[in-house]
Amino acid sequence: MNGWIILDKPVGLGSTQAVGAVKRVCREAGLGKVKVGHGGTLDPLASGVLPIALGEATKLCGRMLDASKIYDFTIAFGTETAGLDAEGEIVASSDVRPTLAEIEAVLPRFTGPIEQVPPAYSAIKIDGQRAYDLARKGEAVEMKARSVTIHSLRHAGFDPASIPAGDDSTPDQVRGDEGEGQLTAITLTAHVSKGTYIRSLARDIAHAVGTVGHVTMLRRTKAGPFDLSQAISLDKLNAFGQGAAQSEIILPLEAGLVDIPALNLSPEAAGAIRQGRVWTGGCTEDGLYWGRDSDMRPVALIEALAGTLKVVRGFNL
């Protein structure tokens, strides 16, 4: 069993719990013990695209962690919480409410390479301990700024249909988005690099317009090559354990490689690469490829350099 399950993770479910659910469903479907991993943590209070790898696809989890991601998120203005989200105590408040024009005027400051201070309530390790564990103990947590890239950032409006049934994370105070009145909240769409904290981005945008704020809705709409059109609900995942067709649930391993060009390998080259040997005589441009054999099966991630093909990560298919 090798491939991907793209889960539309509901609010309240942690990424580790989602992996556990996939393992359970695979057992129920009679697949036995399957190696499972996820391609990027999604907070329990967030929903959306969570790529879960099965079998040999777990070898691509590192690439998925490094991939850029797209989020829709809502900032509610007027209060800032300890966790910068809908949970946690209020640590700051303000009567200032920005206009749409004021927000759009500051968004360019947060586009491109930026320095960002992660939330104290995060999984970053400080002296071997998770920052959120220290914060929950009431200890002072000094988070160091890190470099991230915001590829794009724009006002998204708010489409209630984009939120799955049963997800109550949508704020009911999103008003005034289309006018120049003061906003109680706004929904933005951000395309970001790995390591970006949307909660920190929301905090900093609120500060830039002279107020405070926190995230009340966070939904990941794309992770690497995967988007919501490929995602399944938790109910559909559970149906797999009750006999639903595998083709409706599991994407092939190569679905996680669509952003890399494919390279057709001769039987001789495929055999050498399966053995981990460098193959010479590969007439292709330098770069990263995924090699496939004459049956179109993925053989390996391959680096082409100066006419040679070298294995980056092999697949045992």
Residue 157 tokens, joined:
């409006």
Q: Reduced to 3 states, what is the DSSP secondary structure of residue 75? A: strand
Active site residue 43: yes
Burial 150-179 (b: 16+ CB within 10 A, else e): beebeebebeeebbbeebebbbeebebbee
The Cα–Cα gap between 267 and 175 comes to: 61
For CA atoms 239, 245, 249, 250, give the dihedral sign.
positive
Q: Catalytic one among 43, 72, 85, 204? A: 43
> Where would I find the H helices in the chain?
15-28, 61-66, 100-106, 131-136, 198-208, 234-241, 267-274
Could you give the count of Cα atoms lying within 13 Å of 214 in the half-sphere of its Cβ?
A: 22
**Strand duo 287-292 + 298-305: pairing:** antiparallel
**Strand duo 287-292 + 262-264: pairing:** parallel
Residues in CB range of 306: below 8 A, 6 or more apart: 286
Burial 208-239 (b: 16+ CB within 10 A, else e): bbebbbbbbbbbbbbbbbbebebbbebeebeb
Q: Which residue has the tokens 């991993």?
A: 37
Helices 234-241 and 15-28 pack at an angle, to 10 degrees, of 30
The Cα–Cα gap between 240 and 235 comes to: 9
Residues marked as catalytic: 43
